[in-house]
Structure 1
Amino acid sequence: MSLPRIAIDAMGGDHGVRVMIEGAALARRRHDRFKFLLVGDEEQIKQALDNHPNMRGASEILHAPETVSGDEKPTQALRRARKTSMGLAIDAVKKGEAGAAVSGGNTGALMAMAKLSLRTMPGIDRPALAALMPTLGETDMVMLDLGANTDCDARNLVQFAIMGAAYSRIATGLAAPRVALLNIGTEEIKGTEALREASEQLRQADRKLAFSFGGFIEADKINRGAVDVVVTDGFSGNIALKAVEGAARFVTDLLKSAFQSSIRSKVGFLVSRPATELLKHHLDPNNHNGAVFLGLNGVVVKSHGSANAKGVANAVAVTARMLEEDLTDRITADLARGTGEGPGASGQAA
């Protein structure tokens, strides 16, 4: 099956062109139907492509004279959007020259450019940043918002729940994902007014929605596998994400230190190495790389800035999956079913 080509912001990410191209090449070796529009400094991209002959016939280069820096304010980046690799990658999606865009660059700038260029879908007030996270269950968990919106009202949270469930159905194959709102307790009286109101609205609409709403969940339970989608505002979501990532690094570093502390510990490491390697694989953020901006008229995926080639390849794979499964169409249908908003609201939802 052929796919629309994916625009790659080749200059984004901490490691720049080399890793972005290497990641795209790795993704193409896994799935040779991928085609790319590589956006950035033409000479640097050509040099990087010399090491990846499998990319030559599947790629076109779009020269961009400027790059968005990691510490640049979104307002500053917006003014230079038409000259930057990030802005031109998103513009290619708007013009239909690419089906989706992937960038490892400045998250705030990427969100601002994507929202201004692609606009939000009908029925969605604000886009949200969603990503897959590992759990103790059989499938990964979707969490949103992870930083796009610091302040959210009940209406925003309900829309996030609908979008997150649509993403979960594509990413995990679950027919009716279990959705919960992140809160400081599970009792209905806990949390902000926005959380309590969103919970009431989701309970009332539960039978209309393509997911099962389970109320509130606390932060220490989000990776246990009890829910499939965790919904929160971008402020709390970003803090929770960084806390989980930090805890994962702490555990792996602690184990490494413990196994090197004595001869006996080193012997123990050799015995338990299969288990520790499995743990390392499970906690490696590169294996879950690729956060999706949900709610836009187009697919934009944020790769972690520090991602290696394997991580970039996974972000590309996430992007392709969203294209294959028509993410925006699914969200539109779910909105019509659950809230009565969106283009399909007056008719029967798909």
Structure 2
Amino acid sequence: MITPRIAIDAMGGDEGVRVTVAGVALARHRHEQLRFTLFGDETQIRAALKNHPNLSKAAEIVHTDQVVTATDKPSQAIRQSRGSSMGLAIQAVKDGSAGAAVSAGNTGALMAMAKLALRTLPGIDRPALAAFLPTLGENDVVMLDLGANTECDARNLVQFAIMGAAYARIVLDLETPRVRLLNIGTEDLKGTDEIRDAAASLRGTTNLPLRFDGFIEGDKIGSGDADVIVSEGFAGNIALKTAEGTARFVTDVLRRAFTSSIRSKAGFLLSKPALHLLKVHLDPNNHNGAVFLGLNGVVVKSHGGADEKGIANAVHVAARLIEEDLSGRIGEDLARVGPIVSEELIAK
């Protein structure tokens, strides 16, 4: 059996090489069978590895001093893709030397480079960015698209639903994920033509391992009433940023409230266990690891500001998708629903 290997863009992210390497080392304690190739400045990587002997024996270093910065446009990144740490990590997936790539770098550049190098799976028109959001239910919710495609037709939305459900079955261990379309209302007549047409197609599909439960509004994203929420990237990105901003708002308000007086500080000490649970639930590092679904290969996007725990979670997601053959599952599901996706929606 071939030992799975993950390509790491060691230069991506806001926290630098030290945190990235520490996160990968933390992930290896959970996945001791994994091997890694770290792309980036060799001097910095070797200095960081000195603190992680468990990772050192399972990692190779490929040196490059070219880095895709946070301000680089996708077109700039593509021009330097062959030599950058991000581009080399994606290339490792393309040539088969790695089963997945993980980067905390520029999202737009990563998307453009990955799509150009890996192409989309047969039957997929556009890849979608999927990530987990916390909920009040037993599981997080998979949401897509979160910004890769600002305009989508009904065919794209149906494909996103199929990919999101396959992803949820792997990572959330769900046999039949509940899928909903993000809309401005739950009534059948609400929303754009594209959303309504996608809903009609999903309702007519009975041979897929998913359950389509209709529409969901933005205020119910965290309710736990869905396992997969599908949207075009414009609304999806706004929903994601709103959720992240609301989480920061709530924690900041609580912090101010509990430091406003001596009585409040006493209340804080009594409430500390509950507040710790709230912090854990809202911490983006516990939900880190967005995936570009629909590519002919696995590429995981870590949040740029992730700490070592967040990086470890992103690597864990990549490892699960390699082990469970995400691309193969998506391909199987597309084959089941092919006539509906390719014929009915094209005719509209």
Q: Which residue of 2 aligns with 1:345?
A: none
Change in CA separation of 1:81 and 1:184 when aligned onto 2, cut-off 3 Å? same
* Structure 1 residues 146-165: aligned runs within 5 Å: 146-165=146-165
Q: Is the 8 A contact 1:335 1:341 kept in 2?
A: no
Q: What is the aligned-residue identity percentage?
A: 67
Query: For residues 221-274 of structure 1, what are the alpha-carbon distances to aligned partners after superposition, in whole Å with 9 as ceiling and x for unaligned?
Result: 011000100000111111100000100111111111111111111111111111
Is the aligned partner of 1:316 residue 2:315? yes
Q: Give the TM-score taking structure 1 as reference length.
A: 0.95
- Counterpart in the other structure of 1:47: 47
Counterpart amino acid of residue 284 in structure 2: P
Alignment partner, residue 122 of structure 1? 122
What's 1:281 paired with?
280
State the Cα distance separating 1:341 from its structure 2 match.
Answer: 8.6
Task: Note if 1:222 corresponds to 2:230.
Answer: no
How do residues 60-99 of structure 1 correspond to structure 2 at under 5 angstroms? 60-99=60-99
8 A Cα contact 2:157 2:230, kept in partner? yes
Is residue 123–residue 341 contact of structure 1 (8 Å, CA) maintained in 2? Answer: no
Residue deviations 1:58-82, cap 9 Å, x none?
0000112200010110011100000
In 1, are the aligned partners of 2:202 and 2:212 still within 8 Å (CA)? Answer: yes
Which residue is 2:301 aligned to? 302
Residue 197 (structure 1) aligns with: 197
- Tell whether the 8 Å contact from 2:68 to 2:86 is kept in structure 1 after alignment: yes
CA displacement, residues 155-202 of structure 1 (integer Å, 9 cap, x when unaligned): 000000000000001111111010000011111111111101111111
Rounded Cα–Cα distance in structure 1 between residues aligned with 2:340 and 2:325: 19
| Matched AA of 2:155 | R
Residue correspondence of structure 1 range 167-206 to structure 2 within 5 A = 167-205=167-205
Could you tell me which runs of 5 or more consecutive residues in structure 2 were left unpaired when the two chains were aligned. Answer: 342-348
Unaligned runs of 5+ in 1: 343-350
Compute the displacement of 1:55 (Å): 1.2
Aligned residue-pair number = 341
The letter of the residue matching 1:160 is F
Q: Distance in 2 between matches of 1:176 and 1:64?
A: 44
Aligned to 2:210: 211
The one-letter code matched in structure 1 to 2:40 is: G
Deviations 1:143-162 (A, max 9, x none): 00011111100000000000
**SS of residue paired to 1:335:** helix
RMSD (Å), alpha carbons? 1.2
* Residue 205 of structure 2 corresponds to residue 235 of structure 1: no
The answer as to whether partners of 1:2 and 1:33 remain within 8 angstroms in 2 is no
The match for 1:259 is 258
Aligned residue for 2:72, secondary structure, equals coil
